[in-house]
Structure 1
């Protein structure tokens, strides 16, 4: 059986999970903002020790590939790439939005009756989002979106859509009168689902290039100079 380590750092959640084949062996999770850089390697080390797994027994590392927090994604990807490079094992990527949708799909009856719209908060009225069906087939591609009342009206006219994730709350009041708009609260990114989705990629040998891999940031990051620098 393959031993897989999964990492999720795309949001305030810092999560690591360990799998032996399809079985979840253990998981550790923190929900402390801006804690990833100081905790993730400790969490990995403690999880491996608690589960009786040596670092050299890992067969692959899976990473939540974004979109999400720029800093969080960089920390997660650099950690994963470092492990894969030093251990000479493959790197797997799973879409953060797909993993959110998969959590709900796995836990509701008759998921084929719905479409699923995961949303990650991108400040103000903007979100990172997409729409997928119950098989995670893309109906609308991943993109940044400024929420307004007319958003998703075409899709909502045809089928019930379940909205979820940290950005979904902002959309509730805009579609309160639409009976096809349903909401599930409390769905946060988790390494457990990253690992679940990565297992199929591992079996199919869908690996990332460790040397050149970059997370899916979705939007450019703008870095402004400090006042002291701009005055020079």
Structure 2
């Protein structure tokens, strides 16, 4: 059975998990903002040690590929690519939104009754989101969306939709009184669903090109130089 190392750094959560096939051997998680770059390699090393696994035994690295924090995604992808290059093993990408949804679907009785809408805060009233069924098939594709009262209005007339993730609170007040709009708090990105979802991709050999892989930022990132104070 393959040993899959999973990384999740797309948000304020820094998380790593190790799987042997479908079996979770161990995981580690920090919820300290801006800690990823200084902790990710230490967390990987400690996790492998705790599970009595050597780095050279890892079969593939799975990474949460976005959308999410630009800096966080860069750190996660850099760590994953570095490991894959040095070990000559495959790189697997898992959608951050699919990883969020997998947590809710697995904990929902009769999950086929609902649609699932993971939402990642993208500042102001914008979110990164999509709409999924219980098989993680996209009913509405991943996109940046400005939250409004009419968001998913048609879908909510036909079926119950569960909203969750860091951006869901922006919609909650707008959907007050809508019977089919259900909200769950405290669903955070985690490496554990990343590892679970990566196993099927590993079996299908759905690997990324390590040399050219870039995270799914969804929007272009604009970096500007700081403005210097002018002297009159």
Shift of 1:177: 1.4
Gaps of 5+ in 2: none
Partner Cα separation in structure 1 for residue 230 and residue 158 of structure 2: 53
Partner Cα separation in structure 2 for residue 90 and residue 229 of structure 1: 48
Q: How does 1:148-167 map to 2 (within 5 A)?
A: 148-167=148-167
In structure 2, the partner of 1:214 is 214
Gaps of 5+ in 1: none
Structure-1-length-normalised TM-score = 0.98
Residues matched between the structures, number: 231
Q: How does 1:8-157 map to 2 (within 5 A)?
A: 8-157=8-157
Partner Cα separation in structure 2 for residue 49 and residue 226 of structure 1: 43
Which of 69-78 and 150-159 deviates more? 150-159
Please provide the CA RMSD for this pair: 1.1
Shift of 1:229: 8.9
Shift of 1:139: 0.5
Partner Cα separation in structure 2 for residue 27 and residue 209 of structure 1: 26
Partner Cα separation in structure 2 for residue 212 and residue 122 of structure 1: 26
Partner Cα separation in structure 1 for residue 138 and residue 131 of structure 2: 6
Per-residue Cα deviation, 1:159-205 (whole angstroms, up to 9, x for no partner):
10000101001110000111010011110000000000000000111
In structure 1, the partner of 2:198 is 198
For residue 66 of structure 1, give the secondary structure of its aligned residue in structure 2. coil
Partner Cα separation in structure 1 for residue 107 and residue 30 of structure 2: 23
Shift of 1:224: 1.4
Structure-2-length-normalised TM-score = 0.98
For residue 174 of structure 1, give the secondary structure of its aligned residue in structure 2. coil
Partner Cα separation in structure 1 for residue 66 and residue 227 of structure 2: 31
